[in-house]
């Protein structure tokens, strides 16, 4: 097929690819300080891996990335809500059909509830198909007197505590790319092939609310049921609701990987990160003069930035100048993760400064990363009540300031794990020995995720 016969959004990436190294500025990050990056540039396989990644097909199309930017512009305007969720760190072994479908199903279930609560479309995104690298607070880990490099996600090294596994291996980027491709392929098949059918997703939710532990959400589930029946009676085209848009995003931590997957879109001659639709910068790598802000400032993708409790209004304004100088709606998302104890005090000055500047980023709450605690037993966990309290604080602050609480970003899974404590059908620490599976941060399980969606729907409809 000649590229001229392809629809425009595909033509750009199918046409002979211009050099991925030729665009001005795309390599300036190499002269900046870079935090959290693997030590592998001298590895004998490094150059070959980068060469291969320069040549592989993009995982997402520039046209889809532009569509996401338009969707997020609606969120910035208060006309849509944004849901992001998935593992803290994906694993290669966890990229199975069952686990991927469980996560997608849970996100779709959450999205139906949120759509009802907000009376708005929900932009759905997996923290999936690329979330294979992790920032760490320490470069090393010591066990029984043995010190080895910290686990940094399976795209960098292995979780096993041996010198061989913990070495940084650039070949893991190739496995990360291929695992992302197969994950994304299944997500596309599910969300386009009938799995996302509104009636099916709704029936799953009725199952959730029928569980006595979640009786308090039954009335909302029943209201949604009435709404679906009303739509049917009015002759809604349910066939049109069999498919849904679903995007992928991850933390853009490994700049070697992100740079190697950058492609120049021939429609606009602009660089796009093609490892995912949405890329975010973590709390630990968002320094203004650093490499991560520099590279992401040059990509056309919608960009997120995590903001912890130390963020000032001035920090937020400088990030806007660096990442969204044109103040383009949908370009920039601030994902705040202040902690339940801090959000009501720390978030308002940041929002006020941004509002006064006239910028309109999307505001998302990540109620996970400011609420992590270590138990005396050594388990890292989060209390469901703290997660809920941060979400509630986020809504309270936005209501008070008259700004739009645009979305929620959660670490979750579709499985029945025991990693976060509490919830209406409470998870207790005694279950951790059997069902604590995460390699990194603790995730909400299937039921806890749905409960959060019902709670957020209540705030949205209040
Ligand atoms: C994460 O999202 O897993 C993470 C490390 O978050 P943060 O950068 O907000 O600490
Ligand atoms: Mn995490």
Q: What per-residue confidence (pLDDT) applies to 240?
A: 82
Summarize pLDDT for 130-177 with one digit per residue, the tens: 999 999 999 999 999 999 999 999 999 999 999 999 999 999 999 999
Separation of CA 406 from chain center? 14
327 pLDDT above the threshold of 60: yes
Place 9 in a pLDDT band, splitting at 50, 70 and 90.
low
Q: What per-residue confidence (pLDDT) applies to 7?
A: 55
Summarize pLDDT for 427-459 with one digit per residue, the tens: 999 999 999 999 999 999 999 999 999 999 999
17 pLDDT above the threshold of 50: no
308 Cα: distance to centroid of ligand 1 (angstroms): 9
Q: Per mean pLDDT, which range of 12-26, 38-52, 282-296, 366-380 is the poorest?
A: 12-26
CA geometry: angle 423, 426, 427, nearest 5 deg: 105
Q: What per-residue confidence (pLDDT) applies to 364?
A: 98
Q: What per-residue confidence (pLDDT) applies to 8?
A: 56
Q: What per-residue confidence (pLDDT) applies to 21?
A: 58
437 assigned binding-site residue = no
Residue located nearest, by CA, to atom 3 of ligand 1: 88
* Of 85, 90, 251, best ligand 1 pocket probe by most atoms within 8 Å of the beta carbon: 251
Q: Cα–Cα distance between 176 and 153 in angstroms, integer?
A: 10
Is there a contact between 359 and 390 (Cβ–Cβ < 8 Å)?
no
In angstroms, the Cα distances linking 84 to 40, 43, 87, 106, 431 are: 31, 35, 11, 11, 27
Which of the ligands is closest to the CA of residue 441? 2
Q: Per mean pLDDT, which range of 32-36, 193-197, 247-251, 325-329 is the poorest?
A: 193-197
Summarize pLDDT for 68-107 with one digit per residue, the tens: 999 999 999 999 999 999 999 999 999 999 999 999 999 9
Which of the ligands is closest to the CA of residue 133? 1
Q: Cα–Cα distance between 368 and 389 in angstroms, integer?
A: 11
Q: What per-residue confidence (pLDDT) applies to 143?
A: 96
Q: What per-residue confidence (pLDDT) applies to 1?
A: 42
Place 290 in a pLDDT band, splitting at 50, 70 and 90.
very high
Summarize pLDDT for 352-375 with one digit per residue, the tens: 999 999 999 999 999 999 999 999
In angstroms, the Cα distances linking 162 to 42, 139, 146, 147, 333 are: 21, 15, 10, 10, 38
Is there a contact between 271 and 298 (Cβ–Cβ < 8 Å)?
yes
43 Cα: distance to centroid of ligand 2 (angstroms): 28
Q: What percent of the chain shows pLDDT beyond 90?
A: 92
Average pLDDT, the chain: 94
In angstroms, the Cα distances linking 236 to 84, 114, 124, 228, 440 are: 28, 20, 22, 9, 43
Is there a contact between 86 and 411 (Cβ–Cβ < 8 Å)?
yes
392 assigned binding-site residue = no
* Of 125, 278, 282, 438, best ligand 1 pocket probe by most atoms within 8 Å of the beta carbon: 282
* CB hemisphere CA count around 350 (13 angstroms): 28
Q: Cα–Cα distance between 39 and 1 in angstroms, integer?
A: 42
Q: What per-residue confidence (pLDDT) applies to 239?
A: 84
Instruction: Name 363's bridge partners.
Output: 334
Place 282 in a pLDDT band, splitting at 50, 70 and 90.
very high
Ligand 1 binding pocket, CB closer than 6 Å: 88, 135, 251, 282-284, 306, 337, 369, 441
- Please state the rounded mean pLDDT for residues 264-292: 96
Residue 127: count other Cβ atoms within 10 Å of its Cβ.
26
22 pLDDT above the threshold of 60: yes
Q: Cα–Cα distance between 248 and 291 in angstroms, integer?
A: 23
Q: Per mean pLDDT, which range of 62-66, 236-240, 363-367 is the poorest?
A: 236-240
90 assigned binding-site residue = no
243 pLDDT above the threshold of 80: yes
């Amino acid at each position: 097929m000649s590229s001229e016969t392809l629809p425009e959004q595909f033509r750009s990436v199918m046409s002979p690819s211009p050099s991925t190294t030729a665009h001005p500025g795309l390599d300036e990050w190499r002269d900046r300080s870079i935090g959290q990056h693997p030590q592998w540039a001298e590895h004998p396989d490094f150059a070959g891996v980068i060469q291969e990644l320069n040549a592989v097909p993009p995982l997402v199309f520039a046209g889809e990335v532009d569509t996401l930017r338009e969707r997020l512009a609606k969120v910035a305007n208060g006309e849509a809500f944004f849901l992001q969720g998935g593992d803290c760190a994906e694993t290669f072994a966890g990229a199975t059909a069952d686990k991927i479908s469980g996560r997608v199903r849970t996100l779709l279930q959450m999205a139906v509830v949120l759509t009802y609560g907000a009376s708005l479309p929900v932009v759905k995104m997996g923290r999936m198909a690329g979330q294979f690298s992790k920032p760490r607070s320490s470069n090393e880990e010591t066990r029984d007197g043995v010190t080895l490099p910290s686990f940094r996600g399976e795209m960098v090294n292995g979780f096993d505590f041996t010198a061989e596994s913990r070495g940084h291996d650039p070949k893991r980027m190739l496995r990360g790319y291929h695992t992302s491709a197969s994950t994304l392929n299944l997500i596309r098949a599910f969300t386009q092939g009938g799995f996302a059918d509104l009636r099916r997703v709704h029936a799953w939710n009725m199952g959730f609310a029928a569980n006595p532990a979640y009786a308090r959400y039954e009335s909302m589930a029943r209201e949604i049921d009435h709404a679906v029946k009303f739509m049917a009676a009015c002759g809604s085209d349910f066939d049109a609701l069999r498919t849904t848009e679903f995007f992928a995003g991850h933390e853009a931590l490994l700049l070697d990987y992100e740079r190697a997957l950058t492609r120049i879109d021939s429609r606009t001659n602009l660089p796009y990160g093609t490892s995912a639709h949405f890329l975010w910068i973590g709390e630990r790598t968002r320094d203004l003069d650093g490499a991560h802000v520099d590279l992401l400032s040059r990509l056309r993708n919608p960009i997120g930035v995590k903001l912890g409790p130390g963020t000032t209004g001035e920090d937020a304004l400088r990030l806007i100048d660096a990442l969204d100088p044109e103040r383009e709606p949908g370009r920039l998302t601030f994902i705040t993760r202040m902690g339940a104890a801090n959000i009501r005090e720390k978030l308002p000055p940041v929002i006020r400064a941004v509002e006064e500047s006239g910028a309109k980023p999307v505001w998302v709450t990540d109620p996970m990363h400011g609420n992590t605690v270590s138990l005396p037993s050594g388990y890292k966990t989060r209390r469901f009540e703290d997660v809920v309290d941060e979400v509630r604080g986020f809504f309270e602050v936005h209501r008070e300031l008259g700004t739009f609480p645009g979305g929620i970003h959660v670490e979750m899974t579709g499985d029945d794990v025991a990693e976060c404590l509490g919830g209406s059908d409470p998870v207790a620490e005694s279950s951790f020995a059997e069902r604590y599976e995460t390699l990194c941060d603790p995730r909400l399980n299937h039921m806890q995720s749905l409960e959060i969606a019902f709670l957020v729907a209540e705030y949205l409809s209040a």
